[in-house]
């Protein structure tokens, strides 16, 4: 399964992507750490990345999460990750969106394109009703991505996520399937 954009494509990560995923995280470590939960040194090992991909593949089989790699169409280089996690069925039909893009590719509209591709998959293929996302108020780039993608701000979750030893506020965004 491949979702194709202008200069990028998305596909589910598999075990063969572990080294590229590690390289992505090492390349953009400082950039990512400003906005993501604190990661142990183990995170930056091939074994950790391989195990995280295997775990994700099992969760995908159980319809619990879907992790896509973002690849450059011209070179097949992995430049980002986008995920639909905490998939809930039944009365909610919802999930959480998360994404990270290599620091060298930020500000080019790629993340907005990637979010829109994954929204299409979530709504049309997975038949989800609602996608939610959280973003730190100071992460203006990510706020722009969500708003340009049609997400609406629903509120503020105070001291919501532990990032670099500090409880950070997060703006709560969501979008509802337009077909529902």
3-state percent helix, strand, coil for the chain, nearest multiple of 5: 35, 35, 30
Could you give the number of structural domains in the chain? 1
d(CA 56, CA 18): 12
Predicted confidence at residue 75, as pLDDT, reads 96
The beta-strand segments (E) located in the chain are 2-4, 8-12, 66-72, 78-88, 94-101, 130-135, 152-163, 166-176
pTM of the model: 0.92
Q: How far apart are CA 18 and CA 78, in angstroms?
A: 10
What residue numbers bound the domain in which 10 lies? 2-176
For 78, the 3-state DSSP assignment is strand
Q: What is the pLDDT of residue 62?
A: 98
d(CA 165, CA 180): 40
pLDDT for res 65: 97
Residues 6+ apart with CB under 8 A from 129: 92, 93, 94, 176, 177, 180
Q: What is the pLDDT along the chain (180 residues), one digit of tens a residue?
A: 899 999 999 999 999 999 999 999 989 888 887 777 778 789 889 999 999 999 999 999 999 999 999 999 999 999 999 999 999 999 999 999 999 999 899 889 999 999 999 999 999 999 999 999 999 999 999 999 999 999 999 999 999 888 888 898 999 999 999 988
Domain of 80: which CATH number?
3.40.630.30
CB 97 within 8 A of CB 84: yes
């Amino acid at each position: 399964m491949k979702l194709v954009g202008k200069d990028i494509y998305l596909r589910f990560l598999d075990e063969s992507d572990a080294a590229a995923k590690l390289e992505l995280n090492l390349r953009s470590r400082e950039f990512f750490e400003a906005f993501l939960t604190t990661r142990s040194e183990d995170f930056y090992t091939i074994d950790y990345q391989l195990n995280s991909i295997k775990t994700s593949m099992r969760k995908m089989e159980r319809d619990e999460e879907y992790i896509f790699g973002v690849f450059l169409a011209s070179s097949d280089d992995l430049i980002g990750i986008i995920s639909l996690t905490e998939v809930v069925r039944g009365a909610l039909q919802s999930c959480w969106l998360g994404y990270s893009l290599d620091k060298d590719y930020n500000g080019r509209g790629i993340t907005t394109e990637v979010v829109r591709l994954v929204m299409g998959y979530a709504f049309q293929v997975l038949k989800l009703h609602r996608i939610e996302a959280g973003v730190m108020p100071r992460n203006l780039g990510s706020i722009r991505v969500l708003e340009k993608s049609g997400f609406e701000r629903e509120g503020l979750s105070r001291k919501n996520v532990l990032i670099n030893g500090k409880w950070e506020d997060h703006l709560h965004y969501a979008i509802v399937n337009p077909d529902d």
